[in-house]
């Protein structure tokens, strides 16, 4: 099995993609709602990723 | 909203034969329950997402948890992690069967890999719950 070496950002985005797909598929009842919820979840992940990233940057001094 | 919840709580338990095969197949093969219930599109998405998460966990050389006794936190983390790994079904069985054994290493890539492996199992649990709801007729 090949080994991969991802940065924090790449790994977190990959995590967000896979998780958002599953959250979208299992949560809602119509395909349209599933797509919207999956995109919404992915957006929330990215927002948290950038927000926490900047928070740590400023917190670190 | 409250009425809907009350109505859901009052629904009788569906017969075992209606949902056990879908949930069991869903555990063994991610998305398998959906394939059995003819929800092929959703099954394929679940299969791709859970398998992708698990494979990236392996490629990042994440560690598999083993149940351990010790203080409460150690027991919780290791037993919980082991159950999470186990929920990946055939992915876990095959990787352990083929001798995948990675010690816990320092470094963010391995750490992400360990979390990917556990999360793949937890996402599969969500897929199994969804398969149960479809099989029980509570969801389309």
Determine the pLDDT at residue B107. 87
Which tens digits make up the pLDDT trace of B15-25? 888 899 999 99
Report the half-sphere exposure of A27 (CA within 13 A, side-chain side): 17
Q: The complex's ipTM? A: 0.91
**Long-range contacts for A6-9 (Cβ within 8 Å, ≥24 apart)?**
A6/B60, A6/B109, A6/B112, A8/B108, A8/B112, A9/A49, A9/A53
pLDDT level of residue B7 (50, 70, 90 thresholds) = low
Helix (H, G, I), strand (E, B) or coil at B15: coil
> Is the CB of A29 less than 8 angstroms away from the CB of B127?
no
What is the pLDDT averaged over residues A16-40?
96
Q: Which of B45, B58, B109 sits opposite A25 (nearest CB)?
A: B45
Angle of the A8-27 helix axis to the B40-59 helix axis, nearest 10: 160
Which tens digits make up the pLDDT trace of B97-127? 999 888 777 888 999 999 999 999 999 999 9
Q: Which of B49, B60, B140 sits opposite A18 (nearest CB)?
A: B49
Domain-by-domain residue ranges, chain A?
A: 20-60
Task: State the average pLDDT for chain B.
Answer: 91
Mind telling me how many Å the CA of A7 is from chain B's nearest CA?
7
Cβ atoms of B30 and B124 closer than 8 Å = yes
Domain-by-domain residue ranges, chain B?
A: 18-135
Which tens digits make up the pLDDT trace of B34-82? 999 999 999 999 999 999 999 999 999 999 999 888 899 999 999 999 9
């Amino acid at each position: 099995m090949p080994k991969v070496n991802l940065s924090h950002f790449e790994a977190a985005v990959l995590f967000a993609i896979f998780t958002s797909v599953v959250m979208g598929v299992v949560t809602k009842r119509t395909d349209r709602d599933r797509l919207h919820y999956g995109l919404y979840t992915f957006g929330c992940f990215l927002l948290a990723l950038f927000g926490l990233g900047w928070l740590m940057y400023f917190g670190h001094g | 909203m409250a009425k809907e919840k009350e109505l859901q709580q009052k629904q009788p338990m569906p017969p075992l034969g209606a949902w056990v095969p879908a949930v069991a197949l869903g555990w063994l093969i991610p998305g398998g329950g959906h394939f059995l219930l003819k929800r092929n599109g959703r099954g394929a998405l679940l299969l791709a997402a859970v398998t992708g998460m698990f494979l990236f966990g392996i490629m990042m050389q994440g560690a598999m948890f083993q149940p351990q006794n010790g203080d409460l936190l150690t027991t919780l983390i290791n037993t919980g992690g082991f159950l999470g790994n186990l929920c990946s079904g055939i992915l876990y069985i095959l990787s352990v069967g083929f001798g995948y054994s990675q010690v816990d290493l320092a470094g963010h890539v391995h750490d992400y890999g360990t979390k990917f492996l556990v999360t793949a199992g937890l996402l599969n649990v969500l897929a199994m719950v969804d398969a149960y709801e479809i099989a029980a007729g509570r969801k389309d």
